[in-house]
Amino acid sequence: MERRRNGNGIGGKWHTPCTQCPLRALPHFRDFNAKELDFVAHFKSGELSVDRGSTFLVEGTHSPHIYTVLNGWAFRCKFLSDGRRQILNYVLPGDLVGLQGGLLGAMDHSVEALSPLTLCVFERSKLDRLFERHASLAYDLTWIAAREERILDEHLLSIGRRSAIERTAYLLSYIEQKARQVHMLTVNRPVIPVTQQHVADTLGLSLVHTNKTLRKLADRRLIKWLDRGCEVLASDDLRRLAQWEGLPEMQRPFI
Partner DNA sequence: CGATGCCTTGAGTGAATTCAACGCTTGTGG
Partner DNA sequence: CCACAAGCGTTGAATTCACTCAAGGCATCG
Number of Cβ within a 10 Å radius of residue 237: 17
Single residue of 81, 187, 219, 227 touching a second copy by CB under 8 A: 81
131 binds a second copy per the rule CB under 8 A: yes
Cβ closest to a second copy, residue 36 vs residue 49 = 36
**138 near 39, Cβ under 8 Å?**
no
3-state secondary structure of 182: coil
Least distance CB 153 / a second copy (angstroms) = 5
Q: What is the DSSP string of 99-141?
A: HHHHHHSS-SSEEEESS-EEEEEEEGGGHHHHHHH-HHHHHHH
Residue 209 binds which of DNA, a second copy, none (CB < 5-8 A, kind-dependent): DNA
Least distance from DNA to the Cβ atom of residue 72, Å? 16
Q: Residue 21 and residue 15: Cα distance in Å, rounded? A: 10
Nearer to DNA, 129 or 212 (CB): 212
Q: Which of 187, 28, 18, 36 is nearest to 92 (CA)?
A: 28
Q: Is 84 in the site for a second copy (CB under 8 A)?
A: yes
Interface residue with a second copy among 65, 162, 198, 239 (CB under 8 A) is: 162
Q: Closer to a second copy by CB, 146 or 187: give it.
A: 146
Binder of residue 105, out of a second copy, DNA, none (CB less than 5 to 8 A by kind): a second copy
Please report, for residues 7, 93, 205, 217, 238, the alpha-carbon distance to residue 221 in angstroms, rounded to integers and kept in the order given.
35, 29, 22, 6, 10
62 binds a second copy (CB under 8 A): no
Count CA atoms within 13 Å of residue 52 on its CB side: 9
Q: What is the DSSP-derived secondary structure letter of residue 81?
A: T
* Residue 187 binds: one of a second copy, DNA, none (C-beta under 5 to 8 A by kind): none
Q: Report the chain's C-alpha Rg in angstroms.
A: 18
Applying the rule CB under 8 A, the residues between 194 and 233 that interact with a second copy are: 201-204
Position 42 contacts a second copy (CB under 8 A): no
Interface with a second copy (CB under 8 A) = 1, 76, 78, 80-82, 84-86, 88, 99-100, 103-105, 108-109, 128, 131-132, 135-136, 138-139, 141-143, 145-150, 152-157, 159-162, 201-204, 243, 248, 250
